[in-house]
Structure 1
């Protein structure tokens, strides 16, 4: 699996600095470094940056669980934030909850450098036929 090619297929992920560490249908892992231009009040990493990481890593997971020739589009996404991030790197791990003919559901956990849960995202993706 060419990780750089997977990220390159999502220009916004490239622009925001997301990197993939591993990608397989059963689990996709990626990360995003804290940087001052990705923050909000109090130097905390912006929720939108965290959600972009989760959406991108989750989308790769959904893509890897599609039938041949199909594509996907997010239909819903729900995020629960549990703590702020003011330094280091956040790592997202996405796993499929369901991979069916018409939908793929993915849960993505984002953790900080100390392994603490930062956010959990559950997303549904429509399976778009070939």
Structure 2
């Protein structure tokens, strides 16, 4: 992965996000459920959004480099939480829905260790020159 983008950022590091693969076409990362739960010991929906925004932003920034606009700024995120998770790792996979010169939109699918869908998110980023 490009050194300019960094691993997952300060918040992502605190949450244990580990990026496994990164390209404009696909970004994959894992995040532990432990330490990222809400009071009922379930994966916090906000944690899923942090994972989704991290992955979509990395993909958008990598695409942005190809159009001389490597700064990706999230402007809209939506997430649907499908299933509760209490333990283990979740895996997020971001793939592009639209990659333009000034805007990129990624779909992020988060699954549990059994491969069941936990969350579906969509992130739109504004692409800017640095």
TM-score, shorter chain, exceeding 0.5: yes
Q: More helix per residue: 1 or 2?
A: 1
Matched, 1:15 2:24: no
In structure 2, relative to structure 1, the CA distance for the partners of 1:2 and 1:70 (3 Å cut) is closer
How many aligned residue pairs are there? 127
Q: Distance in 2 between matches of 1:95 and 1:32?
A: 18
Q: Distance in 1 between matches of 2:69 and 2:126?
A: 14
Tell me the SS of whatever aligns to 2:6: helix
Contact kept in structure 1, 2:73 and 2:125, CA below 8 Å: yes
Matches within 5 A, 1:1-130: 1=1, 6-7=6-7, 10-35=9-34, 37-66=35-64, 67-130=67-130
Deviation at 1:69, TM superposition (A): 4.8
Q: Distance in 2 between matches of 1:115 and 1:51?
A: 18
Structure 2: stretches of 5+ with no match in the other structure: none
Deviation at 1:25, TM superposition (A): 1.3
Q: Which runs of 4+ in 1 moved over 4 A?
A: none
Structure 1: stretches of 5+ with no match in the other structure: none
Please give the TM-score of this superposition, normalised by the length of structure 1. 0.90
What's the CA shift string for 1:30-56, capped at 9, x where partnerless?
010121x32113210111111111110
In structure 2, relative to structure 1, the CA distance for the partners of 1:2 and 1:129 (3 Å cut) is closer
Q: Distance in 2 between matches of 1:69 and 1:112?
A: 34
Q: Distance in 2 between matches of 1:129 and 1:108?
A: 24
Q: Distance in 2 between matches of 1:85 and 1:112?
A: 7
